[in-house]
Each structure stands twice: as structure tokens, then as C-alpha cells.
Amino acid sequence: MAALINYFPKVSALISHEIQTQIKGEVTIGFSAPLPIAIVEPQPIRANELVLTEPGDRLSNYKVTWAGFEILTTDVITHRGKVYRVHSVGDRIDEFWRAVLREKVPNVA
């Protein structure tokens, strides 16, 4: 039986994994080189998922996507020029992952 994820159209994106290094007691966070991936087009989250968001956040910053490989909450996904930080991840039947993404926006004064 084919995995359910194979029935959905995919779009190309890039994923970077967080890398933590410790030098003289100082932890530095960096990211790996971006790797090309295929994910289901990121979509707005549903109203019943608002409990996942932090109070005061703009809801337009959150999207949901699915992938046929493991996604970690420390990953960064770039799609159509927008950079998303993985907010939460859940694995599903047939070995695919559902990820809630939060768009990284610059702090504006």
C-alpha cells in the first residue's frame, strides 16, 4: 500500500538543521547548509490549532505542511523566499510528518 503522502502534490523547499557548538563554555547556534526537499504546500493553520500559538502572535505567521521524512522542531524551512521555523511536529501513520511552521519576521520598531 502506498503512503498517503504520495497522493498530494509537492513543492520544492530548503531545510537547514540547527547545529549547536560549545567553545569555552559558550554555546553557539548555527545552521547546516540548506538541503533541497519536497513538502506539501504550506497552508494556514485551522482555528482549533490556535492553542499551539503563543499569546499575542499574529496568526498569519503560522502555516502547516506535511513531509515524507522526519522534521525536527529545531529545523528551518525556506519556501518561496519566506523563512519558517518549525514550531511543532507530529508523526502520522504511513511514515509522514506534519509540521506547524512559524514565519520568521524581522523585529520592526
Give the CATH number of the domain where residue 8 resides: 2.40.10.270
pLDDT of residue 92: 72
pLDDT of residue 15: 94
pLDDT of residue 16: 94
Rounded to the nearest 5°, which phi and psi values hold at 8? Answer: -105, 140
pLDDT in 10s for each residue of the chain, 109 residues: 467 777 888 999 999 999 988 888 898 888 999 999 999 999 988 877 666 556 655 555 789 999 988 899 999 999 999 999 998 888 776 678 889 898 887 665 4
Per the domain annotation, does 20 fall within a domain?
Answer: yes
Q: Could you list the residue range(s) of the whole structural domain that residue 45 is in?
A: 4-103
CA distance 95 to 5: 9
Per the domain annotation, does 46 fall within a domain?
Answer: yes
pLDDT of residue 2: 60
pLDDT of residue 34: 93
Residue 58 · residue 50 · CB < 8 Å: no
Per the domain annotation, does 109 fall within a domain?
Answer: no
Number of domains within the chain:
1
pLDDT of residue 77: 95
Per the domain annotation, does 108 fall within a domain?
Answer: no
